[in-house]
């Protein structure tokens, strides 16, 4: 079955770039998603990338996709304290069920 | 914007109680989901539904049931709450459309404590 793996924790200083990595297993995934969860809140869709793209940029966010290695990354430029949150990557379930398979989440800690 | 509303942010219940968690979405989405979130385990799917009166088991359905009598509302039921069901519960919805490309939209979660 599908499996999505992320490292659990990342600590950076304010103003630095953050890179959060994710590996997935289903090569047929059409879209891959990044969600952000702030403390005490639900998950918010942050960005997504279509599988025929290598890169997508959206203001301070850059998503890189390496389909050969099934590796996805989220880069946050000029990281701010407000970026402190848990970040989840997710891929669709292969059975066209509408389900998403989530990684364990990476906690990003931004130090002032 | 899609709005998914969970009726309670915090709940405290006693072991053995029957517990109802309610979720309502306002975007006429066909698909609705219940996940639980635990530290170190990420999100795990409990149940989901593609349409009114339809339900499908997720990865961890034991101890739970669901009800979808109206398209906009999806309820999670703990028939007899136990302490190992203490968790954050997240409801989500998505458009049917192309199921491989429809993102999930989440509510703010209900933190349930069973004592």
pLDDT tens track of chain A, all 112 residues? 568 999 899 999 999 999 999 999 876 767 899 999 998 889 999 999 988 889 999 999 999 999 889 999 999 999 999 999 999 999 888 766 778 889 999 999 999 9
Q: Which residues of A touch B58 (CB under 8 A)?
A: 99
Q: Which tokens hold the place of B93?
A: 């919805």
Cβ count within 10 A of residue A102: 22
- Put simply, the answer to whether A42 touches B100 (Cβ < 8 Å) is no
pLDDT per position as a tens digit, B73-99: 999 999 999 999 999 999 999 987 665
The reply to whether A59 touches chain B by the CB within 8 Å rule is: no
User: Burial, B33: exposed, middle or buried (Cβ in 10 Å; 0-12, 13-18, 19+)?
Assistant: buried
Nearest to B8 by CA among B75, B95, B85, B84: B75
Contacts of A100 (CB under 8 A, 6+ apart): A33, A90, A91, A92, A93, B103, B104
B48–chain A nearest CA distance, Å: 8
């Amino acid at each position: 079955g599908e499996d999505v793996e992320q490292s659990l924790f990342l600590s950076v200083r304010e103003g630095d770039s953050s890179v959060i990595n994710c590996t997935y297993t289903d090569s047929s995934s059409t879209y891959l998603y990044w969600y952000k969860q702030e403390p005490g809140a639900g998950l918010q869709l942050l960005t997504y990338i279509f599988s025929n793209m290598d890169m997508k940029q959206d203001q301070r966010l850059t998503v890189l996709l390496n389909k050969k290695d099934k590796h996805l990354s989220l880069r946050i430029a000029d990281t701010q304290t407000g970026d402190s949150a848990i970040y989840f990557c997710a891929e669709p379930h292969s059975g066209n069920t509408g389900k998403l398979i989530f990684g364990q989440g990476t906690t990003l800690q931004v130090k002032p | 914007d899609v709005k998914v509303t969970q009726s309670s942010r915090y709940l405290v219940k006693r072991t053995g109680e029957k517990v109802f968690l309610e979720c309502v979405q306002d975007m006429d989405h066909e698909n609705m989901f219940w996940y639980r979130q635990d530290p170190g385990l990420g999100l795990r799917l409990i149940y989901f539904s593609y349409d009114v009166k339809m339900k499908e088991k997720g990865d961890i359905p034991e101890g739970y049931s669901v009800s979808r009598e109206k398209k906009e509302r999806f309820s999670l039921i703990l028939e007899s709450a136990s302490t190992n069901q203490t968790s954050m519960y997240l409801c989500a919805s998505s458009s049917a459309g192309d199921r491989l490309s429809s993102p999930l939209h989440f509510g703010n979660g209900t933190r349930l404590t069973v004592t």
